Chains A and B, each alone.
Chain A
Amino acid sequence: MTAPVAITLTVNGERLTRLAEPRETLADFLRRDLGLTGTHLGCEMGVCGACLVMLDGTPVHSCLSFAVQADGSAVETIEGLTESAAVTDLQQAFHERNALQCGFCTPGMLVTAQGLLARKASPSREEIRDALSGNYCRCTGYEAIVDAIETVARRRAASREELPA
């Protein structure tokens, strides 16, 4: 075991400095040291997607990264994405469509959805299903999640069209 090292990073818009053990994952750091328990752990090996967070704007598996690797970066978790209203429309569509049951996969699903829609404004259902392949959901059977993301893609596209060029 090596000694903890100081890291400085921005989490959900707040800059902070903390000590982290080199072996501590980013997921554990967020959950345990910062109390951001909206990031979940389902497999701790990069398969299930429950632990996805935004790292400098891109979805990453916080179970596979070490906290020390996030030194100098900006991390956004579901708590931050909620407060900044970045995913409000996705959350609303998930709610209306009942695209969650136990909710354990949901923060990761929202991060993936946000990442997908940033890459591709109007994905097809197949593209949505493909993008969700690294997000396991044991409860819903996925269809409602696909529906909700499709709805948001359509709504975002419509609101873009309404804006004057």
Chain B
Amino acid sequence: MNAPLGALDRPNSYIGRSVSRPNAKRLLAGRGRYVTDLALPRMLHAAFLRSPYVHARIVSIDTEAARAMPGVRLVATGADLAALCTPWTGTLDHFKGMKSAPQHPLPLDEVTWSGQAVVAVVAESRAEAEDALGAIEIAFEDLPAVADLDAALRPDADRAANGAEDNLCFRARLDTGDVEDRFAAAAHVVEEEFRFGRHTAVTLEPRAILADWDASEGKLTVHHATQTPYQFQDLYSRHYGIPEANVRVIAPDIGGSFGMKLHVYHEDMAVIGLSMLCARPVKFVADRLESFVSDIHARDHRVRARMAVDASGEILAMDVDDATAIGAFSTYPRTSAVEGNQVIRLMGAPYRFRSYRAELSVVFQNKVQTSQYRAVGHPIACAVTERLVDMAAERLGLDPAEIRARNLIPDDAYPCDSPTGYKFEALSHQESLARLKALMDYDGLRAEQATLRARGVHRGIGIASFVEISNPSPAFYGIGGARISAQDGAVVSVTPSGEVRCAISVTEQGQGTETIVGQIVADQLGVPRERVRVTTGDTETTPHGGATWACRGAGIGGETALQAARRLRSNILSLAGTILQAKPADLDLRDGIVVEASSGSERIALSELARIAYFRSDTLPPDTSAQLTVAHHYAPQGYPFAFTNGIQGCHVELDAETGFVTILKHWVVEDCGRIINPLLVDEQIRGGVVQGLGAAFFEECRYDEDGQLTNGSLADYLVPMACEMPDIVVGHIETPTADTVLGAKGCGEAGTAASSAAALNAVNDAMRPFGASIAQLPMTPTRILAALGQF
């Protein structure tokens, strides 16, 4: 018997309940174990000499003096590592025509961005390794650098990487065919050119890896701060030619990831080879300066877009050109084209219009690689769409909320699809808009705005509707030939003491994966949550799975746990039936005790049942099969993605003298399907919103025109601080997906997807009385003043 999910009126009903995270206590006590904290016997430390050149040929490398420095055990160049590690290429088969040059752990003859690691030193301490870097001589021959996006696309442009036929990594087009007609017939056309700066994840714990090659067993153990241990097990195995079963990747506590720690980094790949060459454990922790020049960056788009509307305010069509610059290579194994692909496919997604055309150019240049970071593509598509919607509203004299009410897909129109081919199962845009208006007292704020404007106080209100991709099926990567799993696996057992263990392939970076999996298992089995122990993040002790990315933890991992727990429960009740000589269907498991389902009277405790199964099987009938461990896999079926939706509101005050913007408050209404733990969902949303506000106002990797990063330190790169961030009000609508029993969809990227768009609209709303507008993120005070014509 399974009670309806989310009903909170029975014992062990944990799905839908705000409970705190058991594993957070360790972190609060300073007992977290991050890769940065680990030390192994005979461990060595790696440091990398980095290129000061943006683009150069490596003429010669002299490592002799460095090898003689105190404590140095190895100095390795690209050639040394290339002898061990096969090269990789960051393309996916389903991106037709995509190209990218093969990459090695360290370059063989060419550096393609400033900060690229060139030579590795391994020493007894990090300080000794760094000391030895100074003794390495590299002769570089400067090559022309490609920094600017438009310059890169010119036919006569210098190449970002030698030997490339051009600087175009990938091009895609979408066209419903009728766009020109729609624009020709439109009452109004609004258009804008948008710029989205580069920013980066700045996880508070930088990238860290500790590789331990055991030559005696031919076994590689890697302690790796990553979201995706299985993906790296596969990659280390294949590129270093080690049987997969001999590669163990452990992802312990991780100090933030946000998509940044699931890509292959050259230094990380090198560390594996360095450990093999030294036959000792080798550790590398990127320091913050290294993070800025080697972690993936995100965004970097120039989007030209226009929108056609009729006289009644109905959106007719969109026409979009997105050019995005990604560095000299596409990242591996997920590529640097997924973001652009999602940008052009997510444009206009909340709205009813059917005519759409888009062109995407993914361009090479001599900077750090860009790739997937929280909310991949969403913030760009959302900001462009939502700003155009506001511009259309202004042109028509409509309120921004009103034009959305007229154009958002009606809540009873599902299932339906987008003009770009996305399929929507069931969304709640209209209800979300209504809820947001109530939550933020939209009309009241508008009235207040008018009053304050009269007094010279310039407040702005911005709203932004969004969809978010979650629960990706193999349509995401598997289809493109990448060995990145869309399924997850769980092993759930009853221990001899009647406790429950669940080892699952989704991973934890603090979002609460282990907690929600524990809630689901306890809920579905009928045991107290305290008796369920969840383990994650170790390829040797958990089954293979996709792990955590693209908001799949709750939706896919959660469903895996649910199905596994249901199977285990049925095994428990069947064994109890044998022991009690009762029909399993007449029994139930409640609070760790097998009871008579109808009366609730207690029959046998789970601990007693486990004792019998494990220690006194002799007392059971001869044909009894006591299966108190269940291994179960689940892959998403049905819709290729479970879309979520929502809407955000942002309230700002602009100081027109200084260009300074104060964010007064922010609201989110979000529909992520079944909510397993409201406390955790709200904090995912808030954290996501703040990352989006960072992109909107502060965060930017600034380059000079030659391609040198000019603000690569935490003192110069602005991360949102507590004093600048608003309180964030979160409301929910629950439209569960019918593709799973659990009905959960993702929520980790929703905050980031639309907060920068809402902020962009809010700032533009505040600037309206000045007849000014801005279309570039981040909206720094300087840019705002420039938009206001102040200088």
Contact = CB atoms under 8 A, between A and B. Distances in A.
Interface of A: 1, 23, 31-32, 36-45, 47-48, 50, 77-79, 82, 91, 94-96, 98, 100-107, 110, 125-126, 128-130, 132-133, 135-146
Interface-centre pick from B28, B34, B288, B688 (highest chain A CB count, 10 A):
B28
5 contacts: A43-B713, A101-B511, A106-B28, A126-B723, A129-B722
A45 B205 CA distance: 14
Interface-centre pick from B203, B255, B512, B691 (highest chain A CB count, 10 A):
B255
B30 A77 contact: yes
B683 interface: yes
Interface string B327-353: 000000000000000000000000000
Q: How large is the interface on B (under 10, 10 to 19, 20 to 34, 35 or more residues)?
A: 35 or more
B509 A38 contact: no
Contacts of A144: 683, 686
A101 B714 contact: no
A156 B76 CA distance: 57
Contact of B683 (A38, A44, A105, A140): A140
A77 to B, nearest CB: 7
Given A45-B714, A141-B728, A106 B205 contact: no
Nearest to A126: B723
A76 to B, nearest CB: 11
A141 B204 contact: no
A141 B511 contact: no
Nearest 7 A/B pairs, CB to CB? A38-B30, A103-B27, A101-B510, A104-B255, A78-B30, A102-B510, A141-B686
Main secondary structure of the interface of A (DSSP, over half): loop
Contacts of A82: 28-30
B28 A95 contact: yes
B722 A103 contact: no
Contacts of A125: 727
Interface of B: 20-21, 24-25, 27-34, 36-37, 39, 127, 131, 201-206, 253-258, 287-288, 509-512, 679-680, 683, 686-691, 713-715, 719, 721-723, 725, 727-728, 751
Contacts of A44: 287-288
Contact of B727 (A78, A96, A143): A143
Nearest to A79: B30
Contacts of B28: 82, 91, 94-95, 100, 103, 106, 110
A144 B27 CA distance: 16
A42 B202 CA distance: 9
A157 B288 CA distance: 39
A107 B30 contact: yes
A50 B205 CA distance: 9
Contacts of B258: 138
Contacts of B512: 98, 101
Contact of A45 (B33, B254, B288, B691): B288
Contacts of B688: 141
Given A45-B288, A133-B723, A104 B205 contact: yes
B150 to A, nearest CB: 33
Contacts of B691: 138
A23 B723 CA distance: 34
B728 to A, nearest CB: 6
B27 A132 contact: no
Contacts of A140: 683, 686-687, 690
A125 B206 CA distance: 30
B253 A102 contact: yes
Contact of A105 (B204, B690, B714, B751): B204
A142 B722 contact: yes
Contacts of A95: 20-21, 24-25, 28
Contacts of A32: 39
Interface-centre pick from B37, B204, B511 (highest chain A CB count, 10 A):
B204
Interface-centre pick from B255, B690, B714, B722 (highest chain A CB count, 10 A):
B722
Given A101-B509, A141-B725, A42 B30 contact: no
Nearest to B29: A82
Nearest to A145: B722
Contact of A103 (B127, B206, B255): B255
A143 B725 contact: yes
A106 B23 CA distance: 14
A89 to B, nearest CB: 12
Interface-centre pick from A79, A135, A141 (highest chain B CB count, 10 A):
A141
A124 to B, nearest CB: 12
A52 to B, nearest CB: 12
Nearest to A36: B30
Contact of B256 (A41, A94, A139): A139
Contact of A48 (B30, B204, B687, B723): B204
A104 B722 contact: no
A15 B167 CA distance: 62
Given A37-B36, A129-B725, A141-B688, 14 more contacts: A38-B32, A43-B288, A43-B715, A48-B714, A91-B29, A94-B24, A98-B679, A100-B510, A102-B509, A125-B727, A126-B723, A139-B204, A141-B686, A142-B725
Contacts of A94: 24, 28
A105 B510 CA distance: 12
Nearest to A49: B204
Interface-centre pick from B24, B258, B691 (highest chain A CB count, 10 A):
B24
A41 to B, nearest CB: 7
Contacts of A106: 27-28
B728 A102 contact: no
Contacts of A110: 28
Given A23-B127, A129-B722, A142-B725, A98 B204 contact: no
B374 to A, nearest CB: 10
